Amino acid sequence: MSNHVYPSKPTFPRDATKKDYAASLDAADPLAAFRDKFIVPSKANINCRKLAKPDLSSEPCIYFCGNSLGIQPKATAKFIQAQLDTWSSIGVSGHFVDLEGSPLRQWQLLSEQAAESMCKIVGAEPAEVAAMGTLTANLHLLLASFYRPTATKYKILMDWKAFPSDHYAIESHIAWHGLDPNQSMVLIGPDESEYEISTEKILSYIDQHADDATLILLPGIQYYTGQLFDIPKITEYAHSRNLTVGWDLAHAFGNVELKLNEWDVDFAVWCTYKYGNSGPGTMAGLFVHEKHGHVDYSEGEDAPKFRHRLTGWYGGDRSVRFKMDNKFKPIPGAGGFQISNPSAIDLTALCAALSVFDETSMAELRKKSVLLTAYLEYLLLEGTAEESRPFRIITPSNPEARGAQLSLLLKPGFLQNVSQKLQEAGVVCDKREPGVVRVAPTPLYNTFTEVWTFVQQFRAALEV
Strand positions, DSSP E, 94-166: 129-131, 155-159
CA distances from 193 to 196, 416, 445, 446 (A): 10, 23, 35, 33
| 3-state SS, residue 161 | coil
Q: Determine if residue 165 is labeled as part of a ligand binding site.
A: yes
- What gap in Å lies between CA 248 and CA 260, rounded to an integer? 12
Distance separating the N- and C-terminal Cα atoms of the chain: 49
Question: What is the pairing mode between strands 185-188 and 129-131?
Answer: unpaired
Phi-psi region at 101: left, alpha or beta (left = phi > 0; alpha = psi -120 to 50): left
3-state secondary structure 302-334: CCCECCCCCCCHHHECHHHHCCCCCCCCECCCH
Long-range Cβ pairs for the range 235-242 (8 Å, 24+): 235/263, 235/264, 235/265, 236/1, 236/2, 236/263, 236/264, 237/203, 237/206, 238/206, 239/264, 241/206, 241/207, 241/210, 242/153, 242/210
**Spatial CA neighbour of 270 closest among 360, 349, 165:** 165
Q: Are 195 and 225 in contact (CB under 8 A)?
A: yes
Q: Determine if residue 228 is labeled as part of a ligand binding site.
A: no
- What gap in Å lies between CA 325 and CA 328, rounded to an integer? 8
Q: Which residues contact 14 (CB under 8 A, 6 or more apart)?
A: none
- Residue 188, φ and ψ in degrees, nearest 5: -100, 120
Q: Determine if residue 136 is labeled as part of a ligand binding site.
A: yes
| Cβ burial, residue 404 (10 Å; 0-12/13-18/19+) | buried
Q: Are 351 and 279 in contact (CB under 8 A)?
A: no
- What gap in Å lies between CA 419 and CA 450, rounded to an integer? 17
Q: Determine if residue 163 is labeled as part of a ligand binding site.
A: yes
Q: Determine if residue 98 is labeled as part of a ligand binding site.
A: no
| Cβ burial, residue 44 (10 Å; 0-12/13-18/19+) | middle
Residue 87 half-sphere exposure toward CB, CA atoms < 13 A: 11
Q: Determine if residue 4 is labeled as part of a ligand binding site.
A: no
- What gap in Å lies between CA 52 and CA 86, rounded to an integer? 27
Q: Determine if residue 164 is labeled as part of a ligand binding site.
A: yes
Single-letter amino acid code for the residue at 372? L
Q: Determine if residue 159 is labeled as part of a ligand binding site.
A: no
Q: Determine if residue 30 is labeled as part of a ligand binding site.
A: no
Burial 102-114 (b: 16+ CB within 10 A, else e): eebbbbbebbbbb
The residues that bridge with 42 in the sheet, in sequence order, are 60
Point out the annotated binding site.
135-136, 163-166, 248, 251, 273, 313, 341
Point out the annotated binding site for pyridoxal 5'-phosphate.
135-136, 163-166, 248, 251, 273, 313, 341
